[in-house]
Structure 1
Amino acid sequence: MQPNPEDSQLCRLALEKTLVTQDEAREAIARQRQLASNGTRYPLGDIMVELGYLTRAQLSRLRGDSEDSGSRPAQQIPGYQLQKKIGSGAMAVVYRAKQLSLDRIVAVKVLPKRLSKNAEFVERFYSEGRAAAALSHNNIVQAIDVGESAGFHYFVMEYVEGRTVYDDLAEGKVFDEQEAIQIVRQMADALRHAHERGIIHRDVKPKNIIIAPNGVAKLADMGLARAASDVEAAMAEAGRAYGTPYYISPEQIRGEVNIDHRADIYSLGGTFYHMVTGRVPFEGPTPSSVMHKHLKEPLTPPDHINTKLTGGCAAVIEMMMAKHRGERYPSCRELLEDLDRLARGEAPRYAQHALDHSVFDSLSQGEAQPVEREEIRPRREGAPMWIAVSLGVVAALSILLNIILAAA
């Protein structure tokens, strides 16, 4: 029996994803051949499910992946020559490509065909393109083109050579405070640009920050971005948590309708925290447990983990990650001012850290400060001793009086 191409592809994917072992794959193939010898044609994936090696859900995902692998859009996007795959995720595959008209390298994000049938995914894909196209900033990956060809939905963007912040963190790097400040400052300026144009990113995280060899940081992936004024979209998403659990803001977890730019400030704060401590702000065995901690648990101050951090840096991170958004920076402009002060070695203006600087500000202006005075009371530690002495004297006088009376 000649192996079926679809079965071969599915088996290869199952082995690559370690969903089955080599022995299990061989046993499933042997079972398929046995059935074929009796005149029964049975798909290999179904046999793996029957033998208990795969679940139906796993098989469904494998078949979707197999379909996408077997239908690469290599020459089906006009004007672009796809060269190699450089990344993939749940929502898209990203290729390095050449834009033929301008003879330049670009990145092309392609929506998998299995998701092309889902109107919500397609709309989210195009909303990313629209959001990116509305922005033009040195620290934001620039949109170039968006469209559909031969059933493939694609989004063309600036190609950035470099590493993500996540790549460095995954290798165990803890960023130096000043290095982290420079990267976070660039992201804060990128977000300022987006927010002032009514765009909220909603998924700021280390994987979405690319550092070019020249040190320029680029904010990528506008996949969850939407206009702050888009009430219809906000209502449609009400009650659903959109974002990445380790960096998501409390209001996103609650699925609130009126999400605003301060959600991005929280997520950037979570990224900043991870960069300078080497740890995510909250850990847990499941996404829901991590999100619960974002809602309920106090944040461990970052300078308690990395004692080399300045108090000012820790204060800025804590203000960015305040659970109530009214206690965060009101906008990225104030955040940028504090980051610039940190970069110069100065204390932040807006963030406070375990000390109310307003007292010192008032003193510097010559204002008198009321002082609470505590009443001083006499100490009474010796009272029991004096009582004992007094009783002793009384007893002695009583004995002496009895002796005198007896003598008389």
Structure 2
Amino acid sequence: MIRAMAVPERIGRFDIEGRIGGGAFATVWKARDEALDSDVAIKVLSENWLDSTDVRARFLAEARLLRRAESDRVVRVHDLGELEDGRPYLVMTFADRGTLSQRLADGRFSWRVATDVAIEIGKGLVVLHAAGVLHRDIKPSNILYRSTPGGGEQAMLGDLGLGKLLAEASMLTLAGGTPAYMAPEQAQPGAPVSVRTDVYGLASLLYRALTGRTTHSAASLAAVADPSRSAVAPPSTLIPDIPRALDAVVLRSLEPDPDRRHPDVRSFIADLRDVLEDRVPADDSTVAGTTRVNPVVDSTVPVARSTLLPGAPPRGPQPSTPPSGMPPHSTPLHSAPPHSTPPQGFRSSTPPQGFRPSTPPQGVPQHQSQVYGGQPPRPPVHTPPGQTPSGQTPSGPAAARPRRRRLLIALVATVVLFGLAGAAGVWYYLRQPVDVLNSSGEIQVSVPRPWAGESQDGWQPSALTGGTDKTQAPGLLVAESAGEFAQTRSTKPGIFVGLLPKGTKLSADKFRTAVTAAGCTEATPLPVQAPTVSVAQQCNTLLLNDFLVTTPSGRLAWVRIKKPTSDNTNPADILTKIHLNPHP
């Protein structure tokens, strides 16, 4: 994960034009097929995993799963081969229009565009499930776009590295996925998965596209599986113009209990279409604020679309009830139902039975009538035109103007106060750090909430120290995008901490040489105390801070903090909040 792989000139019969991206297990290159006059993507297993039979098997299994789908909505595998050093590679469809992650880099979509995108991705999942394959890693970076004839484009599902056959889904499954988008059952080792696992992933991706943020801040598998994790906030509480009917559809598919979600992707898509095409009435019981019963549905039975189930609340305005998973303090406010019974002590404006309105006595103009039974009427007061009788409150249009002005001022003041309070709440939320612990419990970091998008566990110290030893060691990567952390052209922030094997020796000069990135310039290192070596680099608008830390037990650890120059986070503050507790 340190040094970028050297750009090869050719892979097989393909001319390499550049690196597209990569992750923990593989690197993807753009290549040119001169024989067929077309561009392709070639995915090559990382050399770190060459000797791992398990990772190699998973790499080749991905190719078989992709070929199994054979659809334009899923990245196609055209060929596979093996490099001279024994590493396998896959020749795949080239996504010339980038990824969904790139399109969401500036924030979010309008609710209609986001819903359309989710429906298109859902169609790919329907194809994949029909082929007997689960995806299990639905996230923006795994949604790719390619051009189609006529100037259109096609969304495709990619990266089936965590894919699994449906026939094996009920068997014991290793925990895995991207914490920000994965279903709770994926984070539980040995827990079975199903098509509802992908339903949750699709809903998580839609939530991100709708609101600009993920459903939760959990950055580790343990945090994802934690049953006490905070409930997901309805999208409309973050973006007010999102229909409450869409709230209900999304929240249903984000239920922690798989049996309470949509039974399959088809029914999820059907409900999304209903909202998009305005086929859900405003008072339908699918609107957030009512309770909808979701019984266990046999997923083997095709479901065209979800419907209002027997026993669900009647149509029409209902008393305010928080949707499933929504905390009571976030309950939306509703007006009282028609003909509702007034509370005790409430004075109705409807005249009681037997009451007769007052009638002006004969000879008194209608506009001067009074309710009799108390004081007698006052005699008419003759006032010159344009003046108000002394001691009386002005009435009519002249009096209404000041009242309207006062109401407008009060309304504007209220809106400003609520806006300031909301901005302060968002600012406070984003400033709260997120604590992440690696699976062995030896490394804990505390990072700004926006950084905690994805996490990875473990690393190979030989990447830093050199040599051929491919042994894994405790490590923790927490970043906005784990796949882009090693790229110096990406400014997405993150932190990596890796423990070196006990007894490892590494000089300061060798450490500086190992972490120096090509194309970067030396920057002023942070003033830290020995025994810590500090190296700072600037790569355009990116800042890299590397530290070689010696723990109290004498064990070395490598820390890399990456952030854009526009980020005001102080790397020294993050460094002081790292807790290392290496096992003996």
TM-based fold match above 0.5: yes
Cα distance in 1 between the residues matched to 2:41 and 2:285: 39
Match of 1:229, SS state, is: helix
Alpha-carbon RMSD: 2.9
The aligned residue for residue 329 of structure 2 is: none
Identify the match of residue 104 of structure 2 among 159, 169, 173.
Answer: 169
Cα distance in 2 between the residues matched to 1:282 and 1:294: 13
Superposed CA offset, 1:302-354 (max 9, x none): 11111110012111110111110111110111112112212212229995522
Q: 1:377 to 1:200 in 2, by over 3 A?
A: closer
Cα distance in 2 between the residues matched to 1:273 and 1:377: 42
Q: Answer yes or no: is the 8 Å Cα contact 1:80–1:100 preserved in 2.
A: yes
Report deviation, 1:211. Answer: 3.5
Q: Answer yes or no: is the 8 Å Cα contact 1:209–1:218 preserved in 2.
A: yes
Identify the match of residue 72 of structure 2 among 120, 124, 138.
Answer: 138
Q: Answer yes or no: is the 8 Å Cα contact 2:215–2:233 preserved in 1.
A: yes
Cα distance in 1 between the residues matched to 2:83 and 2:98: 30
1:79 maps to a residue whose letter is R
Match of 1:291, SS state, is: helix
Report deviation, 1:278. Answer: 0.7
Cα distance in 1 between the residues matched to 2:178 and 2:104: 16
1:208 aligns with 2:146: no
Report deviation, 1:297. Answer: 2.1
Cα distance in 2 between the residues matched to 1:362 and 1:345: 17
Pair member with larger Rg: 1
Identify the match of residue 338 of structure 1 among 261, 266, 271.
Answer: 271
1:159 aligns with 2:159: no
Q: Answer yes or no: is the 8 Å Cα contact 2:99–2:144 preserved in 1.
A: yes
Cα distance in 1 between the residues matched to 2:115 and 2:46: 37
More deviation, 126-135/286-295:
286-295
Superposed CA offset, 1:184-213 (max 9, x none): 001111111111221000000011112446
More helix by share: 1
The aligned residue for residue 347 of structure 1 is: 280
Mapping 1:59-74, distance limit 5 Å: 62=2, 65=3, 69-70=5-6, 72-74=7-9
Superposed CA offset, 1:218-260 (max 9, x none): 211111101021369x43x4xx421000001011011244211
Q: Which of structure 1's runs of 4+ aligned residues deviate more than 4 A?
A: 292-295, 348-352, 376-379
Q: 1:230 to 1:74 in 2, by over 3 A?
A: farther
The aligned residue for residue 242 of structure 1 is: 176
Q: 1:118 to 1:346 in 2, by over 3 A?
A: same
Q: Answer yes or no: is the 8 Å Cα contact 1:111–1:125 preserved in 2.
A: yes
Q: 1:203 to 1:231 in 2, by over 3 A?
A: closer
Cα distance in 2 between the residues matched to 1:126 and 1:210: 21
Report deviation, 1:107. Answer: 0.5
Q: 1:377 to 1:265 in 2, by over 3 A?
A: closer
Q: 1:260 to 1:378 in 2, by over 3 A?
A: closer
1:229 aligns with 2:183: no
Cα distance in 2 between the residues matched to 1:91 and 1:243: 14
Q: Percent identity?
A: 25
Unaligned residue ranges in structure 1 (runs of 5+): 1-60, 364-372, 380-408
Match of 1:360, SS state, is: coil
The aligned residue for residue 219 of structure 1 is: 157
1:197 maps to a residue whose letter is A
- How many residues are matched? 297
1:291 aligns with 2:203: no
1:317 aligns with 2:250: yes
Superposed CA offset, 1:132-183 (max 9, x none): 0011223211221122231231011111111322123332x22111111111
The aligned residue for residue 307 of structure 1 is: 240
Cα distance in 1 between the residues matched to 2:226 and 2:238: 18
Q: 1:188 to 1:306 in 2, by over 3 A?
A: same
2:178 maps to a residue whose letter is T
More deviation, 111-120/343-352:
343-352
Report deviation, 1:96. Answer: 0.7
1:192 aligns with 2:135: no
Q: Answer yes or no: is the 8 Å Cα contact 2:180–2:214 preserved in 1.
A: yes
2:45 maps to a residue whose letter is L
1:260 aligns with 2:198: no
Cα distance in 1 between the residues matched to 2:30 and 2:37: 13
1:360 aligns with 2:293: no
Match of 2:91, SS state, is: strand
The aligned residue for residue 357 of structure 2 is: none
